[in-house]
Amino acid sequence: MNGGAVAIAVAAAASALVVGLATVLAPSGEASGPAQLAQAAADAGGYKSEPVREFKRAGKMSGYLFATPETQRIQDDDFENPSFLWVDHGEQMWTKVEGSEGKSCLSCHGPAAKMRGVGVTYPKINKETGKLFTLEHQINYCRTERMKAPELKWETTDMLGIAAFVMLQSRGLPYDVAIDGPAKPYFERGEKLYHTRRGQLNLACIHCHQTNAGNYLRADLLSEGMISGFPLYRLKWQRIGSIHYRMEECYGLVRAETEPYGSEELTTLQLYLAWRAGGLLSEAPGVRR
Ligand code: HEC
Ligand code: HEC
């Protein structure tokens, strides 16, 4: 496929999504005219960052460097990057009052720009529960415990939107997770899982993403399997997906039993991935083939 064809395919997919999302975005009985939307965006107060341009640090290479120039070009331009449909939805969720406490994220946290630096420290131990939390777990914790609002399901427009919006606040900052103290046992388990063979193909993560990075697996150029672009839009998925969604796909590639999103196993592996990407700049929301 040449660059033009890709651009057209993406534009078509994006406009289909706009229609799809518009339905999701207009909750019945709530005013959502252009003026209200503009006001909500102003209140959400997101950090204005440029797409990341540096993809190799400390000898580590982002998946961006293994992508084709056409795919890279889509990520390089926020107006072309379809992930921003989800980010825009997340921006509106930031100010949306939900739950019996009558609060929104904004009520307690103020403008979203205050979240700058937060995303790149996840997964991390939640002080109140002592458990290892992904950003998604933390968002649900705030919803259920503090807003008295229902939990969001992983991989829904709402969860992907709010998670992508919070991650965008840290765009351009290096991954920096804690692996000591109470995080240590999780880290050690994650490291072990990364090196454990699984599935009918009997392969571990490391076999594809370290030993074979730069080689082809059928049509796919194997990258170092870095987390730095997540959540990201994949042309193949026609949507944005979390790192857990990506790992599910990798489990499938080796014909292994999958784990539920948000499970302790995937969260523990994510901690290892985040440590392994240490120093690489978060480019979320990225774009891949
Ligand atoms: C059989 C080979 C194979 C194994 C084993 C495998 N993956 Fe992957 N993985 C892929 C392919 C193919 C892709 C898509 C191309 C790429 O980025 O490497 C991918 C992509 C990824 C990405 C996205 C990188 C990006 O920048 O988009 C991450 C993260 C990842 N894998 C993590 C894992 C983890 C964690 C494991 C172990 C649970 C694992 N993979 C096991 C083949 C594999
Ligand atoms: C009633 C107040 C309240 C509401 C509403 C609320 N939070 Fe929180 N949130 C907190 C408190 C308190 C903490 C823990 C202290 C801290 O880390 O700021 C926290 C922590 C967080 C953190 C972790 C910060 C870090 O440094 O690790 C994130 C991310 C977060 N909230 C996101 C959200 C999102 C997204 C929403 C809306 C869906 C939301 N919160 C709604 C009070 C709230």
Report, as an integer, the average pLDDT of 24-41: 64
For residue 286, how many other CB atoms are within 10 A of its CB? 29
Question: Which residue in 9, 11, 139, 165 sits closest to 86, CA to CA?
Answer: 165
Ligand 1 pocket, residue 137 CB under 6 Å? no
Instruction: Please name which ligand lies nearest the alpha carbon of 276.
Output: 1
Instruction: Please report the atom of ligand 1 found closest to the CA of residue 227.
Output: 29
In the three-class reduction of DSSP (H, G, I as helix; E, B as strand; rest coil), residue 51 is classed as coil
Predicted confidence band of residue 42 (pLDDT cuts 50, 70, 90): confident
Does 55 or 7 have the greater pLDDT score? 55
Phi and psi based region of residue 10 (left: phi greater than 0; alpha: psi -120 to 50; beta: remaining): alpha
Q: What is the pLDDT of residue 31?
A: 52
Report, as an integer, the average pLDDT of 122-131: 97
CATH superfamily of 181-288: Cytochrome c-like domain (1.10.760.10)
pLDDT, averaged across the chain: 91
pLDDT in tens, 250-262: 999 999 999 999 9
Pocket test for ligand 1, best of 68, 205, 250 (most atoms within 8 A of CB): 250
How far, in Å, is the centroid of ligand 1 from the Cα of 246? 7
Instruction: Please report the atom of ligand 1 found closest to the CA of residue 273.
Output: 35
Question: Which residue in 189, 181, 161 sits closest to 271, CA to CA?
Answer: 189
Predicted confidence band of residue 32 (pLDDT cuts 50, 70, 90): low
% the chain with pLDDT above 70? 89
Instruction: Please report the atom of ligand 1 found closest to the CA of residue 199.
Output: 5
DSSP assignment, residue 165? H
Residue 250: active-site member: yes
The torsion angles phi and psi of 56, rounded to 5 degrees, stand at -130, 125
For residue 137, is pLDDT > 70?
A: yes
Is pTM, for the whole model, over 0.75?
Answer: yes
Expressed in percent and rounded to 5, the helix, strand and coil fractions of the chain are: 50, 10, 40
- How is the chain split into domains, by residue range? 181-288
